[in-house]
Amino acid sequence: ALLELGGKNAIIVLDDADLDHAVDAAAFGVYMNAGQICMSGDRVLVHESLAEEFGRRFADKVRALPAGDPSRPETVIGPLVSADAARRVAGLVADAVAKGATVLAGGGEPDGAVHPATVLTDVPKHARLYYGEAFGPVCVVGAFATDDEAVALANDTEHGLTAGIITENGTHGLRVASRLRTGIVHVNDQSVGDEPQAPFGGAGSSGYGRFGGRWGLEAFSNTRWITLATEQAHYPF
């Protein structure tokens, strides 16, 4: 058996990132399927040199995302699985705000099962959203000063499924990726990605085992060694 149990995934925007790409990638990684993906980006960590500008552009983009009827082709933020799920997400947001978080976009009450696309910052550690998986159209934006700090923030979770690293320097991205405790990292992309031939799975509370490709076959089979000698062997005694 193997288990994939969700994530508290980070999208890291390094100081050498293209800001336009970073905003678009993070918006997709957070809000695709209204955040109801185990790989969704719950946290967007941005280098302090880009944080202010990123926050402004990202909040503007999020506020403009069309929400509501999922049958309309232009809708980005459709309903959660139920009205109860939307109320659960709203409770996480309200708890964070009551404990000192700032709303950059969205917030407020859901409309039935549709929760507004929401961006928060300054979420304290004692808020339930800090460590809890949102599984809805909500993310927390934070800043970091160094790669070491970015890695420490990204790894500050019991989960370890996936991560995205936005950078224009692949070598820089790979150095950071090697230090993340996740089963999956996408360099110069956001956190959502799956392919049938790729090993999919995480670490820690994100589960164990891998499915996809030969890794999935190995997870559900027993490896054996069988030989056939084409000539009779000679033995020392």
In a domain, 228, yes or no: no
Over residues 46-77, the pLDDT tens digits come to 999 999 999 999 999 999 999 999 999 999 99
- Give domain status of residue 233, yes or no: no
Distance (Å) of CA 222 to CA 71, 165, 215, 216, 219: 45, 35, 12, 12, 8
216: enclosing H helix or E strand:
helix 213-219
Q: Using the structure block, give the residue that is written with the tokens 């700032």.
A: 102
**Model pLDDT, residue 94:** 97
Decide if pLDDT at 230 tops 90: yes
Asked whether 101 and 123 are in contact (CB, 8 A), the reply is yes
Look up 53 and say whether it is catalytic: no
* Catalytic hit among 4, 52, 139, 149: 4
- In this predicted model, what pLDDT tens digit does every residue of 193-209 receive, in sequence order? 999 999 999 999 999 99
Which residues constitute the domain of residue 62?
Answer: 3-219
For 14-55, the DSSP string reads: -TT--HHHHHHHHHHHHHGGGG-STT-EEEEEEEHHHHHHHH
pLDDT of residue 28: 98
Q: Give residue-wise pLDDT tens across range 89-100.
A: 999 999 999 999
Region at 105 (left for phi over 0; alpha for psi -120 to 50; beta for the rest): beta
Q: What is the CATH number of the domain that holds 136?
A: 3.40.309.10
Residue 229 domain flag: no
Find the angle CA(41)-CA(33)-CA(219) to the nearest 5 degrees. 70
* CA gap 196, 211 in Å, rounded: 8
What's the confidence (pLDDT) of residue 234? 95
CB 9 within 8 A of CB 191: yes
Is 230 domain-assigned? no
Asked if residues 154 and 163 have their Cβ atoms less than 8 Å apart, the reply is: yes
Helices (H), 103-212: 128-131, 147-154, 170-177
Biggest CA pair distance of the chain = 83
For residue 4, indicate whether it is catalytic. Answer: yes
With 90 as the cut, is the pLDDT of residue 210 above it? yes
This model's pTM is above 0.85: yes
Residue 224 placed within a domain: no
Query: What pLDDT is stored for residue 174 in this prediction?
Result: 98
C-alpha closest to that of 203 among 173, 163, 159, 164: 159
Mean pLDDT, range 72-91, rounded to an integer: 97
What are the beta bridge partners of residue 111? 114
In a domain? residue 213: yes
Decide if 182 contacts 163 (C-beta within 8 A).
yes
SS3 97: helix
Per DSSP, the three-state class of 211 is strand
- What is the total count of domains within the chain? 1
Marked catalytic residue, from 38, 48, 53, 133: 38
Is 99 among the domain residues? yes
| Token code pair at residue 196 | 């049938």
CA angle 15, 202, 8 (to 5 degrees): 55
Tell me the pLDDT tens digit for each residue of 150-175: 999 999 999 999 999 999 999 999 99
pLDDT at 1: 84
- Summarize the confidence of residues 78-99 as an average pLDDT: 98
pLDDT tens digits along 105-150: 999 999 999 999 999 999 999 999 999 999 999 999 999 999 999 9
